[in-house]
């Protein structure tokens, strides 16, 4: 049997089953069934009513059910089932542009690239015309500042080497770091391939319990850097700085203090990261998306 061009792994929970918007774009995938496969990971303690999955009306899909407990664990369970040429990860509370995403992957395949990266929008329902498109300008700078995986496709060569950490926060940033994008041949697409719906309820960045896991993510990244698994380059430093700043901005008072102290301890004890880390932090604070 011929492998698909692209597989999209999509974690969903109980609250997403009855979402008509999801059913619409998931059903739209049928129009591209010869190239696209969906792996839907149902993450819940409860078994879903079979009628909900029947409503999806899919011909090329696989459903994995389990109590995974985190986006990282759910995506890892989905990735195990993938054998396509390319892999991507979509979230059930967003909207991928399926046609544009596939066009991007086709172009990356033709150009013999290892990674494909498209533009994205951040949609805010409370403001008129509030969606913002970030243009990367063929630079990894915007990825370092916005390292979510949703608008990135990974070739089999890349995704076969990496896997997700079992975390609820920053697991996608770690996945991107482990992919070592700066050393890959990348296809940058000008099209908007993904819409991030910032107004959807249940965002983990608003969940205090989930935010605590940012500290675990920071620890894992620092370990990779100090052991030489990750290079001390602008890309890695910028992503780590971004995670530090997110934890400081959104965490509890006690968490903020711990993270601030950890940041200064890291740059004071490891001279090799001091200057690169400080420069990266300034870059994130001044919003220099395309400067790497």
Provide the pLDDT for residue 283.
87
- In whole numbers, what is the pLDDT of the chain averaged over residues? 86
Provide the pLDDT for residue 139.
79
130/224 same-domain check:
no
176/272 same-domain check:
no
Task: Report the distance separating Cα 265 and Cα 260, nearest Å.
Answer: 9
pTM score, whole prediction: 0.89
Helices (H), the chain: 20-28, 50-56, 71-79, 98-110, 141-145, 156-159, 171-178, 208-211, 213-226, 234-250, 253-269, 271-285
158/210 same-domain check:
no
Name all contacts of 198-202 with Cβ < 8 Å and 24+ positions apart: 198/122, 198/123, 198/124, 199/123, 199/124, 199/125, 199/126, 200/93, 200/94, 202/15, 202/93
Residue 292 is assigned to a structural domain of this protein: no
Give the CB-side neighbour count of residue 281, counting CA atoms within 13 A.
15
Q: Is 240 helix (H, G, I), strand (E, B) or coil?
A: helix
Provide the pLDDT for residue 54.
64
Q: What percent of the chain is predicted at pLDDT more than 70?
A: 83
Provide the pLDDT for residue 167.
93
121/232 same-domain check:
no
Contact 72, 167 (CB under 8 A): yes
Average pLDDT estimate for 145-150: 86
**Residue 108: CATH number of its domain:** 3.90.550.10
Q: Which of 197, 228, 252 is the last residue of a domain?
A: 197
174/231 same-domain check:
no
118/152 same-domain check:
yes
Average pLDDT estimate for 113-140: 74
Average pLDDT estimate for 19-39: 86
pLDDT of residue 17 exceeding 60, the answer is yes
Contact 195, 94 (CB under 8 A): yes
Provide the pLDDT for residue 198.
73
Q: Token pair of 41, please?
A: 């990971």
Residue 269 is assigned to a structural domain of this protein: yes
116/133 same-domain check:
yes
Q: Which of 197, 221, 247 is the last residue of a domain?
A: 197
Considering only CA atoms, give the Rg of the chain.
19
101/54 same-domain check:
yes
Provide the pLDDT for residue 122.
84
Provide the pLDDT for residue 289.
45
Contact 197, 126 (CB under 8 A): no
Q: Which domain holds residue 44?
A: 6-197
- Most confident range (mean pLDDT) of 2-11, 40-49, 216-225 is 216-225
* Residue of 7, 6, 4, 11 whose CA lies nearest to 172: 11
pLDDT of residue 290 exceeding 50, the answer is no
Average pLDDT estimate for 8-21: 81
147/246 same-domain check:
no
pLDDT per position as a tens digit, 185-225: 999 998 999 998 876 554 555 555 666 789 999 999 999 99
Q: Which of 62-71, 143-152, 193-202 has the lowest mean pLDDT?
A: 193-202
Q: Token pair of 178, please?
A: 């482990």
Residue 23 is assigned to a structural domain of this protein: yes
12/109 same-domain check:
yes
177/224 same-domain check:
no
Residue 232 is assigned to a structural domain of this protein: yes
Greatest CA separation for the chain: 58
85/168 same-domain check:
yes
Q: What percent of the chain is predicted at pLDDT more than 90?
A: 55
Residue 93 is assigned to a structural domain of this protein: yes
Give the CB-side neighbour count of residue 138, counting CA atoms within 13 A.
2
Q: Which of 79-83, 171-175, 199-203 has the lowest mean pLDDT?
A: 199-203
Structural domains counted in the chain: 2
Q: Which of 197, 231, 262 is the last residue of a domain?
A: 197
């Amino acid at each position: 049997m011929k492998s698909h061009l692209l597989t999209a792994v999509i974690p969903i929970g109980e609250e997403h089953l009855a979402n008509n918007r999801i059913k619409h774009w998931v059903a739209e995938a049928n129009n591209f069934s010869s190239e696209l496969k969906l792996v839907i990971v149902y993450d819940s303690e409860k078994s879903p009513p079979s009628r909900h999955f029947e409503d999806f009306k899919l011909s090329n899909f696989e459903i994995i059910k389990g109590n995974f407990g985190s986006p990282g664990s759910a995506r890892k369970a989905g990735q195990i089932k993938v054998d396509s040429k390319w892999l991507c990860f979509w979230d059930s509370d967003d909207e991928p542009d399926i046609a544009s995403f596939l066009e991007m992957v086709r172009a990356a395949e033709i150009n013999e690239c290892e990674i494909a990266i498209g533009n994205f929008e951040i949609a805010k329902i409370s403001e008129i015309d509030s969606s913002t498109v970030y243009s990367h300008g063929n630079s990894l700078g915007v990825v370092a500042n916005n390292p979510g995986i949703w608008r990135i496709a990974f070739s089999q060569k890349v995704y076969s080497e990496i896997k997700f950490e079992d975390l609820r926060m920053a697991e996608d940033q770690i996945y991107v770091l482990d992919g070592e994008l700066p050393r890959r041949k990348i296809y940058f697409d000008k099209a908007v391939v993904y819409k991030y719906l910032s107004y959807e309820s249940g965002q983990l960045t608003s969940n205090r319990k989930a935010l605590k896991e940012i500290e675990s993510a920071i620890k894992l990244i620092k370990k990779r850097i100090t052991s030489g698994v990750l290079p001390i380059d602008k890309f890695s430093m910028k992503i780590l700085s971004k995670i530090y700043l997110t934890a400081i901005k959104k965490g509890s008072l006690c968490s903020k203090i711990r993270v601030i102290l950890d940041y200064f301890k890291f740059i004071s004890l490891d001279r090799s990261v001091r200057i690169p880390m400080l420069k990266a932090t300034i870059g994130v604070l001044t919003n220099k998306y395309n400067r790497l």
